[in-house]
A and B are shown apart, each in its own frame.
Chain A
Amino acid sequence: MKSRIKIALSTGLLMPLFVVAPVLAVDGTDTTQTTTNTTTTEQTTDDKKTDAQKQAELIARLEKRKAELKTKLTAVEQKRLQTKCKGGQGSVKSLQAKINGTETSRNQVYTNLLDRLNNLQSKLDAKGANTAELKTEITTLQTKIAAFKTDLATYKQTVSDLAIMDCVADPTGFKATLEDARTQLKTVRDDGVAIKTYVNDTIKPTLTKIRATLDTTKTEESTKPTTTTGNN
């Protein structure tokens, strides 16, 4: 009798485990995978690059820029840079903070822009309007924004190199990096202008055309019931 009670008790205690454990196992699989993926991504970006690797990459970039520098520095120019570059690096560091702020605000503005356009396009699709042209233009805008982000990241890297490099030991590298940064600054600025121009000159006229189509459709819909009432 006692053994039966023991069996009944143990079965009663183990039975919920058989119900809950598989569900928790199935539910935990996705969470574990997500956590693992996130950790792996973070490791690849941050932890994998040691200081030595970062230094090696910096040297490689400097050598590449020096090779691309068209005009060689004279001895006088080198000496002048060696004496003044440290002060210039202070100004570059303040410029870095400004670039970070600009990057954040630009990302917000462009993301908001794309969200609004995509939302409107979905609504226009639901309405049955012709959105083929708008879709193509949104894709082009996305490409332009992606190019802006890439160029801005490159510009940020160059300015960072300019701020942390040993300009006294390598004035030619400093000059080459500065020239590179100036070129990239123009590129990023041109990217921003191109986005603005494209939105103003291409997308907004398309929206105006679509609006006219919707307005016509609305007028036709409003006249139809009047005609029907008149016939009755």
Chain B
Amino acid sequence: MEDNQTPSEQPKATPVMDVQPPRPQAPVSEPTSAPIVPDSSAPSEVSSEQVVEAPAEEAPATENDNVTDSADAPAPATAEPAAATPLVATPAAHQAHKAPVMAIVTALIVAIALAVVAVYAYMAQQNKDDKSTTTTTQQTTSKATVQDVDGTTKAIDQSLNQVNDSTDFDTNSLSDSSLSL
């Protein structure tokens, strides 16, 4: 790339290549072997700059028409994907339409699963409560003792002493005399 450049083009390129242009000229004016050593390092610098500058040239490609052929090359390359976009757009749009449907179906499945789990958990909890109630009732039934029998007999006596059939159901209450008949 540097070999193709003429001395007249050098001032234009100075802002970009501020160090490299004087080095190729050195072998031409002084054919000594001493500058050869930096010359070996020069191509490496150039190559490194090309690698770095390559992406930068793609972006301003449309702005600078004075750039070399290599800079013009990426322009058609970017145009090709733009032309191909409409061809791919139909399945993409189809996918875009499918996405909400899939989301709704997924949400429904999750909702049904949650409902089933909630009902199952509720029923299981209720069964557990019933079992615990039964267990508690069974635990309260203790074994009878003599005191229990005595207590029951005493309570029965007290209950029966509360009622008096003679006064509660007095046959005189419906007699002719009591009704003034």
Contacts and interface: CB of A to CB of B under 8 A. Distances in A.
B79 interface: no
Interface stretch (B20-28, B51-59, B117-125): B117-125
A140 interface: no
A62 interface: no
A22 B165 contact: no
B165 A84 contact: no
Contact of B141 (A19, A122, A207): A122
Contacts of B103: 7, 11
B80 interface: no
A88 B171 contact: no
A123 B142 contact: yes
Interface size bracket, A side: 35 or more
A225 interface: no
A101 B64 CA distance: 115
Contact of A18 (B111, B123, B178): B111
B53 to A, nearest CB: 37
A14 interface: yes
A109 interface: yes
A113 to B, nearest CB: 5
A15 B141 contact: no
A14 B148 contact: no
Contact of B115 (A19, A80, A122): A19
A112 to B, nearest CB: 6
B46 interface: no
Contact of A95 (B141, B171, B173): B173
A78 to B, nearest CB: 12
Contacts of A203: 156
Contacts of A199: 156, 160
Interface of B: 100, 103-104, 107, 110-112, 114-116, 118-119, 122-123, 141-146, 148-150, 152-153, 155-156, 159-160, 162-163, 165-166, 168-169, 171, 173-174, 178-181
8 contacts: A15-B114, A18-B115, A19-B118, A102-B169, A126-B143, A185-B174, A188-B169, A214-B149
Given A178-B174, A189-B165, 12 more contacts: A11-B103, A15-B114, A22-B118, A91-B179, A98-B173, A102-B168, A106-B168, A109-B163, A122-B141, A123-B144, A192-B163, A210-B149
